[in-house]
């Protein structure tokens, strides 16, 4: 079995599914001749041709709007946005049309399409290149939001997203595009959407996160000597698998949620609120949120102070364990 990085696994998912299903096409800025800004679509144009791998103008709204029309008429478009910070121009298409076409047409039309975008900080990029905007899309009924944290899941979840009959936003943690490799099967396999994964078992405290921060969480769990931490990778933000988190918290009685995005009105808040509601009598401490700060994500090396690191997570684990 080949060992792939996360971005290679994303590339592999495209290839496997495009070979299997002629309806799958790829479109976006520089996805063809150039192979994508992060090389996620490299070689696709050579194998599948320019009718299925389409270089578009720099126009995010047009890209996803075109994909919606394609999807409604039976294709399975996979669009790439170069950075999630450049998705706001496409926001109206996503909010006002893509997320609602099934609802609006009372099930007559559907939009089986994927919008992929690298997201999050950690690569010292300029403004608009480091945001974690999952909230804007996960608060939108009708749109699924998926964030992988490993190469294996990236391939399986992306294939699951392409096969899904509803629109899926697929956010890829660019900080760990090439951070590590793992074994990824060569065939086309799907990881089910809407299911969190317990990536480390433990009995004292539940630590929930997704994307890059999930890797930080695994590190923090090792550092927190004396506290047996269970780590959960949420994987799908919407629909949110609250059941897996609730089951874990009923066992451990303590919970920390960690994310890169600003704290106010965030996914961590939603998880804390809904898990609290269902585990009130099991909790031995309040659910703590470890998050970015309520400012625009800063530039250059300052992002190291913004994105939660293992030390911040470990402190939260200790505070919660000692409450």
Residues that bind another protein (CB under 8 A): 85, 88-89, 91-92, 95-96, 99-100, 103-104, 127-128, 133, 135-136, 138-139, 141-142, 238, 240, 261-262, 264-270, 272-274, 276-277, 280, 283, 285-289, 294-296
Q: Could you confirm whether 129 is annotated as catalytic?
A: yes
d(Cα 121, Cα 305) in Å, to the nearest integer?
Answer: 11
In the structure encoding, which two tokens stand for residue 267, read together?
């996914």
Could you say which of 128, 129, 139, 214 is catalytic? 129
Bridge-based pairing state of the strands 229-233 and 197-200: antiparallel
Q: Which is nearer to another protein, 90 or 227 (CB)?
A: 90
Tokens 């996979």 belong to residue: 78
In the structure encoding, which two tokens stand for residue 228, read together?
């047996």
CB count within 10 Å of CB 46 equals 11
Tokens 């899941």 belong to residue: 153
d(Cα 66, Cα 77) in Å, to the nearest integer?
Answer: 9
d(Cα 112, Cα 104) in Å, to the nearest integer?
Answer: 15
Least CB distance to another protein at residue 8 (A): 31
Least CB distance to another protein at residue 142 (A): 6
Least CB distance to another protein at residue 271 (A): 8
**DSSP assignment of 240-291, as one string?**
T-HHHHHHHHHHHS-EEEE-SS-STT-HHHHHHHHHHHHHTTT-SSPPEEE-
Q: Which is nearer to another protein, 176 or 261 (CB)?
A: 261
Scanning the chain, the segments in alpha helix (DSSP H) are: 6-20, 44-48, 60-72, 91-92, 101-104, 134-138, 151-163, 212-223, 242-252, 267-279, 303-306, 310-322
What beta strand segments (E) does 3-128 contain? 3-4, 24-28, 53-55, 76-80, 114-119
Catalytic residues: 129
């Amino acid at each position: 079995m080949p060992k792939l990085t996360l971005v290679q696994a994303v590339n592999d998912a495209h290839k496997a599914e495009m070979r299997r299903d002629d309806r799958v096409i790829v479109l976006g800025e520089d996805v063809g001749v150039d192979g994508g800004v992060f090389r996620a679509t490299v070689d696709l144009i050579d194998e599948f041709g320019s009718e299925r791998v389409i270089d578009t103008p720099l126009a995010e709204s047009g890209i996803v709007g075109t994909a919606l029309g394609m999807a409604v008429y039976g294709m399975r478009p996979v669009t790439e946005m170069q950075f999630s910070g450049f998705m706001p121009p496409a926001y109206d298409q996503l909010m006002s049309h893509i997320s609602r076409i099934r609802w609006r047409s009372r099930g007559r039309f559907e939009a089986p399409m994927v919008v992929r975008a690298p997201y999050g900080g950690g690569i010292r990029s300029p403004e608009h290149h480091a945001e974690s905007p999952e909230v804007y899309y996960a608060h939108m009924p009708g749109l699924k939001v998926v964030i992988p944290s490993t190469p294996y899941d990236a391939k399986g979840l992306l294939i699951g997203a392409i096969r899904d009959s509803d629109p899926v936003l697929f956010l890829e943690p660019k900080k760990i595009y090439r951070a590590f490799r793992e074994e990824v099967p060569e065939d086309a396999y799907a990881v089910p959407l809407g299911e969190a994964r317990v990536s480390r078992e433990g009995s004292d405290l539940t630590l929930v996160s997704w994307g890059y921060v999930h890797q930080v969480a695994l590190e923090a769990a090792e550092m927190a000597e004396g506290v047996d931490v269970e780590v959960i990778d949420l994987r799908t933000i919407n629909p949110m698998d609250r059941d897996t988190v609730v089951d874990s918290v009923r066992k451990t009685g303590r919970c920390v949620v960690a994310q890169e995005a600003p704290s106010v009105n965030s996914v961590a808040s939603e998880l804390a609120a809904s898990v609290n509601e269902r585990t009130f009598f099991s909790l031995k401490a309040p659910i703590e949120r470890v998050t970015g700060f309520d400012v625009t994500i800063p530039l250059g090396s300052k992002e190291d102070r913004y994105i939660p690191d293992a030390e911040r997570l470990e402190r939260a684990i200790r505070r919660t364990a000692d409450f």
